[in-house]
């Protein structure tokens, strides 16, 4: 079966997480992703957070599956010549270096267009044009500057970063959308174009419900927030604890036996109120004027969830999940990474995949969460550093003696 992006060649100049997460998706869709890495060292993450000495870290292996690795010193003269040939041969180029790094190598957008006018040149940077455009940015900086940290956590605590890598992998997903749109437009225009994603913008896009709340705040307190009715609201959207960002209130509730992840998130839909009260043994609240309607519940939402928690603590999270789902009450257990790693249903769907690596043995990685019926993803291991250098250079027309010379000169 052919793959959706078969025939598309990607010049992958990415490192760390944001860029690699984008080219990872392109590779899963069947593009030939050529990861260009500094000779002798490679992507810095190969060595970061290592669990086994001298073996590519899981940080690297879990972001770079299905790709080919080519080592190339882009700053050497012959390296620039090889890189020029790669630009000629590829459809998409992706990079997430610090601002200006590719320009300093001599490959400005104008130069890239001269070499290959059909090239789609995609970049992730920390910020868009403006005061901060030259800053280097990592995940948590983006979470802080994109509105996530100020709105995450509890009122009583400091701004909090979230484990979900919304700055890095979140930007990567945005970049993929731009690359695919540009490929589609190239079908009609015949021209490539630049695709740019600023991590701050990507995080803000993912936090748009909080920008919504900032505007709602002008018209009074945010009644679904834990600060209502007894706390105070300042001029900015406060941290909402467990409150849902949507229109239906929800909360994390404790379950038995009381371990660190024995919790379940329960949402109260208006139509589910009566059933929920019957399940927890509070039929008296089904039609009670202070409780029966969403508006009536708003002034005492915390008490409301506390009542439900009085029932959830008597059951395990799996029992609560089973009972409430049988009544169509939306809820979901808090699952630990251990539980997710061991969950047979996630293995069955390919959400979690085990792959073999020549140096580390088998490891777990995530599968492609985007399913295409005509382009199924087969998750493959990440490449060793420079594993495909000679193979790719031969494809570009270099002879074995050219390759040997480049190797001797430290170019590859």
Ligand X SMILES: CC(C)(COP(=O)(O)OP(=O)(O)OC[C@H]1O[C@@H](n2cnc3c(N)ncnc32)[C@H](O)[C@@H]1OP(=O)(O)O)[C@@H](O)C(=O)NCCC(=O)NCCS
Q: Which residues of 151-231 form beta strands (DSSP E)?
A: 194-198
138, 233, 265, 398: residue in contact with ligand X (rule CB under 6 A): 138
User: Do 76 and 411 form a contact (C-beta atoms < 8 A)?
Assistant: yes
CA dihedral 54→58→60→63, nearest 10 degrees, is 160
Residue closer to ligand X by CB (options 19, 238) is: 19
User: Do 50 and 57 form a contact (C-beta atoms < 8 A)?
Assistant: yes
Please measure the distance between the N-terminal and C-terminal CA atoms of the chain and give it in whole angstroms.
34
User: Do 317 and 334 form a contact (C-beta atoms < 8 A)?
Assistant: yes
- Residue 75 contacts ligand X per CB under 6 A: yes
- Residue 216 contacts ligand X per CB under 6 A: no
- Residue 12 contacts ligand X per CB under 6 A: no
User: Do 193 and 184 form a contact (C-beta atoms < 8 A)?
Assistant: no
29, 59, 97, 228: residue in contact with ligand X (rule CB under 6 A): 97
- Per-residue binder mask for ligand X (CB under 6 A), 34-73, x = binder: --x-x---------------------------------xx
| Dist. CA 293–CA 273, nearest whole Å | 8
27, 122, 137, 207: residue in contact with ligand X (rule CB under 6 A): 137
Shortest Å distance, C-beta 102 to ligand X: 7
Q: Which of 133, 168, 174, 182 is nearest to 62 (CA)?
A: 168
24, 66, 96, 312: residue in contact with ligand X (rule CB under 6 A): 96
- Residue 191 contacts ligand X per CB under 6 A: no
- Residue 16 contacts ligand X per CB under 6 A: yes
Residue closer to ligand X by CB (options 26, 72) is: 72
| Dist. CA 306–CA 39, nearest whole Å | 58
Catalytic residues, which ones? 168
In sequence order, the β-bridge partners of residue 130 are: none
- Per-residue binder mask for ligand X (CB under 6 A), 161-190, x = binder: -------x----------------------
* Residue numbers at the binding site for ligand X (CB under 6 A): 16-19, 36, 38, 72-75, 96-98, 101, 104-105, 124-126, 136-138, 168
């Amino acid at each position: 079966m052919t793959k959706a992006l078969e025939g598309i060649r990607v010049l992958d100049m990415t490192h760390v997480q944001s860029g690699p997460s984008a080219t990872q998706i392109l590779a899963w869709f069947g593009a030939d992703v050529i990861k260009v890495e500094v000779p002798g060292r490679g992507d810095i993450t190969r060595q970061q957070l290592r669990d086994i000495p001298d073996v590519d870290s899981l940080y690297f292996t879990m972001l770079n599956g299905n790709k080919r690795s080519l080592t190339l010193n882009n700053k050497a003269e012959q390296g620039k010549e090889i890189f020029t040939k790669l630009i000629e041969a590829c459809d998409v180029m992706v990079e997430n270096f610090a601002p200006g790094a590719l320009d300093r190598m001599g490959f400005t957008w104008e130069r890239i267009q001269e070499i290959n006018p059909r090239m789609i040149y995609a970049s992730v940077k920390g910020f868009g044009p403006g005061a901060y455009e030259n800053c280097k940015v990592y995940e948590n900086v983006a979470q802080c500057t994109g509105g996530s940290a100020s709105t995450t956590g509890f009122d009583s605590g400091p701004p909090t970063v979230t484990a979900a890598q919304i700055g890095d992998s979140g930007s990567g997903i945005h970049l993929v959308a731009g690359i695919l749109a540009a490929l589609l437009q190239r079908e009609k225009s015949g021209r490539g174009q630049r695709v740019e994603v600023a991590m701050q913008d990507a995080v803000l896009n993912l936090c748009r419900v909080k920008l919504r709340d900032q505007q709602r705040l002008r018209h009074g307190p945010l009644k679904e927030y834990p600060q209502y009715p007894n706390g105070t609201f300042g001029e900015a959207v406060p941290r909402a604890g467990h409150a849902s960002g949507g229109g239906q209130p929800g909360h994390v509730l404790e379950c038995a036996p009381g371990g660190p992840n024995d919790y379940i998130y329960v949402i109260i839909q208006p139509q589910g109120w009566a059933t929920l009260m019957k399940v927890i043994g509070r039929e008296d609240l089904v039609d009670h004027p202070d409780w029966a309607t969403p508006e009536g519940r708003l002034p005492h939402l915390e008490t409301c969830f506390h009542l439900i928690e009085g029932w959830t603590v008597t059951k395990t999270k799996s029992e609560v999940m089973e009972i409430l789902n049988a009544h169509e009450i939306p809820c979901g257990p808090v699952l630990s990474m251990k539980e997710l790693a061991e969950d047979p249903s996630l293995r069955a769907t390919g959400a979690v995949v085990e792959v073999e690596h020549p140096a580390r043995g088998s490891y777990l990685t995530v599968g492609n969460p985007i399913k295409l019926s005509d382009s199924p993803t087969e998750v493959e291991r990440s490449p060793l550093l420079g594993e495909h250098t000679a193979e790719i250079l031969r494809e570009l027309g270099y002879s074995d003696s050219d390759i040997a010379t480049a190797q001797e000169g430290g170019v590859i």
